[in-house]
Amino acid sequence: MVKQYETVIGLEVHVELATKTKIFCGCSTAFGGAPNTHTCPVCTGMPGTLPVLNKQVVEYAMAVGLATNCTITGDCKFDRKNYFYPDNPQNYQISQLYLPICHDGYVEIDTEGGRKAIRIHEIHMEEDAGKLIHDEGRDRSLIDYNRSGVPLIEIVSEPDMRSSEEVIAYLETLKMIIQYLGASDCKLQEGSMRADVNLSVREVGTKEFGTRTEMKNLNSFSAITHAIDAETQRQIALIESGEKVVQETRRWDEDKAVSYTMRSKEDAKDYRYFPDPDLVSVKIDKEWIEKIRKNQPEFRPEKMARYKQEFDIPDYDIEIITETKHMADIFEATVAICHQPKKVSNWLMVETLRLLKETNKDATDIIFSPDNLAKLIKLTDEKVINSSVAKEIFEVMFFENIDPEKYVEEKGLKMVSDEDALRKVIEEVIENNPQSVEDYRNGKEKAIGFLVGQTMKAMKGKADPGIVNKMLKELL
C-alpha cells in the first residue's frame, strides 16, 4: 500500500514597520537614499553610541499582537544576537529572545475544510541589517547602512499549516491585518514582508513531527508555493528511499525551482544571546494596551459586513475595494462627499484596477484624492464633460492627482451642447460623408453611428453625443 504523507509547516514572517525613523536612532527609514546617507553614529555602530528605543515600534508591534489575539508581555526586553558579518555594524543584532513583546496568539484562515486557527507562538521586535554590495570587478565589497536599524517584527507561527494553500491564506491574512493597521505595506517583492518556511513531513496518522528544514529566500507567494511543493516532494523522496531528512537551512532558487543547503544544524552558529544592557525593559501597562486597542481600525471582515448593509454595490466590488485599507478609505471618503457609492465603486473597479494592472502597481500605490474623484463624478453628473473625456481626465488624475475642475478649465474640455455651435460641424460631416448619409437614408440605422463618431472627432471629443445624435437625425 502506498504511504500517505502530511506536510507540517510553520512560518517565520519578518515585517518591516512603517515608522518614519529607525528603531534605535532618529535616522530616516525612507527607501532609495544614496548609500549611507540615512545613517548616524548609532546605526553605524560607532564606539560609545547607545540605542534608544523608538516608541512607535512598540506600538505597532502591540497593535499587530492585539489584532492577532496575542498576549502582550508587560515587561519585555531586548537581547543581543551576536554574530560577525559586515552588514551588521555592531556585530550583534538587537532582537528579542527571552521575553518577546507578544506571545500565544492566533489568526483564522479560510481553508477547503472550513475555518482554521493558525496559532502564533510569538512576535518580537528587532533591527534590520545593512546591505552588502559585492563589487566583483574590483574584488571588494561595499556596505550601505541605510537599512541598518530599520525596525522589523518577526511573527513566529506554530507548525499548524498543512499545505501551501494554507500558508498563502495565512500570509494573506497577516498582510491584510498589518496593512489595515498601517504598520507596514507588506510587499514581498520589495522585502518589507519576508517569510521563512519551516517544513517537515510525516505519515498521516503519526503524532510526532518529522525532521524539519528551514527554507529562505522566498520573495513572492508563487515562490513560497513552489518551494513548499518541492520541499515536500524532496523530503518524501528521501524517506521513501530510506534516507533521512537532515535538519538544515536551505535556500530556494526560484529561477531553477530547486533549493540548496545553506547550513546544517551542526554548523549552526552559537549566537550567545544575552539581555542587552544598553536598553531598559519596556514596561507596558494595561492603560497603554487599552489605548492601542481603542485605536485599532475596523478590520476587513467587519468592514465588508458594514458595506453590505450601507452601500448598494455588488459583493464582488466590496471584496475588491476592501482588499486594502487604502482603497477602502478612498472609497468611503469619496462616497462621503458625493453620496454615489455605485459610481465611486465603478471608477475604482474599472479604470483604477485597469491602470494599476497596466502600471504593475497595487492598490496601496493609489495617489489620487477622494476630493478629486468626487469632483470628477460631479463633472460627469452635471454633464460638464462627457464620459470619454472623464476617462482621459481620470488617467491624468491617476498619475498626478490633478484637480479635475481646474484641469477642465485649463484644457478647455467642457462638453459642447450648444446646437448652434454644433450645427456647422454636423453640416460639414454630412457634406463630407455622402456614402454614409445615403446608407442611412436607405434605412441603414447603423450608419448614423459612424456620423456621430465623425462629429465627435471633429469636436475633439467634447460634444454631447446625445445631442449630436438627435441633431443628425433632424438634419438628415
Partner 1 sequence: MKNILDCTAVELGKMIKNKEVTVMEAVEVTLNRIKEKEADYHSFITVMDEAAMIRAREVQTLIDEGKLTGPLAGVPVAIKDNMCTKGTLTTCASKMLHNFVPVYSATAVEKLESAGAIIIGKTNMDEFAMGSTTETSYYGVTKNPWNTEHVPGGSSGGSAAAVAGKECIFALGSDTGGSIRQPASYCGVVGLKPTYGTVSRYGLIAYGSSLDQIGPICKDVTDCATILEVIAGKDSKDSTSVDVETDYTSALVDDVKGMRIGIPTDYFGEGLDKEVKEAVLSAAKVLQKKGAIVEEFNLSLVDYAIPTYYTIATAEASSNLERFDGVKYGYRTGEYKGLHNMYKKTRSEGFGEEVKRRIMLGSFVLSSGYYDAYYLKALRVKALIKKAFDEAFQKYDVILGPVAPNVAPKLGESLKDPMKMYLSDIYTTSVNLAGLPGMSVPCGFSKSGMPIGLQLIGDCYKEKNIIRAAYAYEKERGSI
Residue 269 CB neighbour total at 10 angstroms:
10
Measured from the CB atom, is 110 or 278 closer to partner 1?
Answer: 278
CB of 411 to partner 1, least distance (A): 53
Question: What number of helices (H) and strands (E) belong to the chain?
Answer: 16, 16
Residue labelled with grid coordinates 534605535 = 24
Among 190, 240, 253, 278, binds partner 1 (CB under 8 A): 278
CB of 83 to partner 1, least distance (A): 9
SS3 call for 75: strand
Among 82, 173, 211, 225, binds partner 1 (CB under 8 A): 82
Number of residues that bind partner 1 (CB under 8 A): 28
Measured from the CB atom, is 87 or 172 closer to partner 1?
Answer: 87
SS3 call for 62: helix
- Consecutive H or E run containing 58: helix 55-67
Measured from the CB atom, is 280 or 336 closer to partner 1?
Answer: 280
Long-range CB pairs of 86-92, under 8 A, 24+ apart, other chains included: 86/130, 86/132, 86/141, 86/143, 87/129, 87/130, 87/131, 87/132, 87/143, 87/148, 88/45, 88/129, 88/130, 88/148, 89/43, 89/44, 89/45, 89/130, 89/145, 89/148, 90/45, 91/45
Among 274, 350, 409, 475, binds partner 1 (CB under 8 A): 274
Alpha helix stretches (DSSP H) within 295-386: 300-310, 315-321, 325-338, 341-346, 353-358, 370-381
CB of 324 to partner 1, least distance (A): 36
Measured from the CB atom, is 249 or 334 closer to partner 1?
Answer: 249
Cα gap 75→61, rounded to integer Å: 14
Contact 225, 168 (CB under 8 A): yes
149 binds partner 1 (CB under 8 A): no
97 binds partner 1 (CB under 8 A): no
Contact 218, 193 (CB under 8 A): no
Among 143, 153, 183, 463, binds partner 1 (CB under 8 A): 143
The mark string for 329-368 relative to partner 1 (x by CB under 8 A, - otherwise) is ----------------------------------------
List the interface residues with partner 1, window 22-51 (CB under 8 A): 41, 44-51
Among 22, 38, 80, 103, binds partner 1 (CB under 8 A): 80
CB of 150 to partner 1, least distance (A): 18
Specify the stretch interacting with partner 1 by CB under 8 A; choose among 159-167, 224-232, 277-285, 468-476: 277-285
Measured from the CB atom, is 41 or 449 closer to partner 1?
Answer: 41
CB of 137 to partner 1, least distance (A): 18
Among 1, 4, 84, 189, binds partner 1 (CB under 8 A): 84
Q: Measure Cα distances from 379 to 18, 89, 96, 394, 399 in Å.
A: 37, 57, 55, 12, 19
133 binds partner 1 (CB under 8 A): no
263 binds partner 1 (CB under 8 A): no
Contact 131, 89 (CB under 8 A): no
**Strands (DSSP E) along 232-305, which ranges?**
248-253, 258-264, 274-275, 282-283
Residue labelled with grid coordinates 454595490 = 313
Cα gap 426→114, rounded to integer Å: 63
List the interface residues with partner 1, window 414-433 (CB under 8 A): none
CB of 24 to partner 1, least distance (A): 9
Among 71, 86, 361, 473, binds partner 1 (CB under 8 A): 86
- Consecutive H or E run containing 236: helix 221-240
Among 156, 258, 279, 353, binds partner 1 (CB under 8 A): 279
Cα gap 213→292, rounded to integer Å: 37
Nearest CA-CA partner of 153 in 17, 289, 280, 11: 17
135 binds partner 1 (CB under 8 A): no
Contact 204, 85 (CB under 8 A): no
The one-letter amino acid code at 32 reads: G
Specify the stretch interacting with partner 1 by CB under 8 A; choose among 217-225, 269-277, 357-365, 416-424: 269-277
CB of 281 to partner 1, least distance (A): 10
Specify the stretch interacting with partner 1 by CB under 8 A; choose among 4-12, 76-84, 333-341, 346-354: 76-84
CB of 72 to partner 1, least distance (A): 20
Interface residue list for partner 1 (CB under 8 A): 41, 44-53, 80, 82, 84, 86, 89-92, 143, 270, 272-274, 277-280
